[in-house]
Amino acid sequence: MEIKSGDSTPGHIEVASSLFDRLQELTDESVTVIKANCTRDGKLQAERLDRFQNGCYELAFCEAEIAAARATLNYVSKHRDKGLVRGIVLMFCADTLKSVLNRFLSYGTDLGVHRKRAQAIYDDPQTLEFLDFHSWAPTAAGLGACIVEENITALPSSLNEEKQLVRDTFSRFADEVVAPLAEEIHRKDTDIPEQIIKAAAELGCFGTCIPERFGGLQPDDHSDSLSMIVVTEELSRGSLGAAGSLITRPEIAARALLAGGTGVQQQKWLPPLASGEMLCAISISEPNTGSDVAAVSLKAKPVDGGWLLNGSKTWCTFAGRSELIVLLARTNPDTSLGYKGLSMFLLEKPAYAGKEFEYQQETGGTLTGKAIATLGYRGMHSYDLFFEDFFVPAENLVGEKDGEGKGFYYTMAGFSGGRLQTAARATGVMQAAFESALSYAQERQVFGKSVADFQLTQIKLARMLATITACRQLSYEVAESMDRGEGQMEASLVKLFACRAAEWISREAMQIHGGMGYAEESAVSRYFVDARVLSIFEGTEEVLALKVIARGLIEKA
């Protein structure tokens, strides 16, 4: 049977929607069962929930995959007249349908849902017809052939004219300023050159999440997370380490300051952050805590006029070059208080080039930093930090006296935006990897024809583009939700999905390159190692799945 690219059985968009309604019923049932097993006297018991860790992990991915599929269905509803868009979306829905059903068939006991419930959905003639068509190799290959023939690097944009202008502006910046320097920065593990930082500041990228009244680009009367996503994605397409993460730290710092900073603190710190005059780093993780923010132990001891910091931090990205470090420390020595004993500080220091520094205060305190050697994500450098009697003035405690013990909450206010932004970083890396793979496949000749002419390559390209589209559209939806004051858990959901997807897509892009993909002279090798960090920072995949997403679903049920 010959299949034209983009053709699909009439009504299959509605069929897909109804199938995901049925899958949602399974996840809702799983949430109910796990909650019932972990609740005593109306309270959720953390120790009982830990017995369902595997189920919660799979549940989080089910929820993320369903959300991604629904985002593509919402997207295709605006492009029903475009056959390629319909075909790509329905292929993604078929793949996602199989993935979610397989989780329930494989881990039904852990998920608390009898396998027969999932099997009944799979055996339904409507399901089989849908899968037989949209998972059929000639159908997927037809879509891929269309992508190759028309050199399609992205499906039609759903952005309005204003946002599209923002994307185009930063796309040119990524192509003309960032990309030409990206490889040297990565291979030599150098600092981000000032020409990137200065040009980014001139474009206003550091102020994307800071209100206009403080010199930023964010409207004063409402949030605009979508602009932040668009900018981040394009910068990350140029280079994750040299550009894509430049605005993550000021974004987290700004949200924390807006959530808890005094008016004086906001006026002092937000304008220089927005202009790029002052660069910042975020220091939360410690050697023995990782993603367990509540276990932070860096000591902040009150003294006349401020606080003395003693202890260590790790994975503080951009700490050397930054003049401001937003830091979480324990101001109450009673560790039984957990996160309630933590406060947030704004720490000033000189900017240092290179991978090591030592800052000696006039008061005698010291801060030393040493960069951690990493596989990828090079340019910004992540540091181990060591504090010895380091003095921080009282006015640098976020919220001042009223902010004591509230650092955890301010951190979380920043992290939701940071996680959404990380999803955009993942999409940018995926986009770069896909563009590289498509170009190479079109040019490389094997066995008398181009790599792009092979069915398997065409299927890979179609699935890659489908996944990128799903990540992009889901991040857009979550951005709109967060701007309404919602979507905190969903920010973790889209990060979970997009960061895992970035690993797969960068791997497939490398595979399409063959041996050249493993060579450092090929940019796709950089995308591969850069993508690997995405599921680790801003909350590891496991922590987000267990402690944020699954727990959030259970508590809300």
- Residues marked active site are found at 538
* 548/551 Cα distance (integer angstroms): 5
* 67/471 Cα distance (integer angstroms): 10
- Tokens describing residue 368: 């030393």
- Tokens describing residue 134: 């949209």
Cβ-contact 199, 177 below 8 angstroms = yes
**Which residue matches tokens 């730290």?**
249
Q: What is the DSSP string of 297-320?
A: --EEEEETTEEEEEEEEEEEETTT
HSE at residue 234, side-chain half, CA atoms within 13 A, is 22
- Tokens describing residue 286: 């410690």
H-helix or E-strand spanning residue 291: none
- Tokens describing residue 235: 């910068």
**Which residues are 43's β-sheet partners?**
40
CA-based nearest residue to 91, from 144, 127, 140: 140
DSSP 211: B
306 conformational bin, left if phi > 0, alpha if psi -120 to 50, beta if neither: left
* 318/209 Cα distance (integer angstroms): 19
Residues in the chain: 557
- Tokens describing residue 505: 């897509």
3-state secondary structure of 421: helix
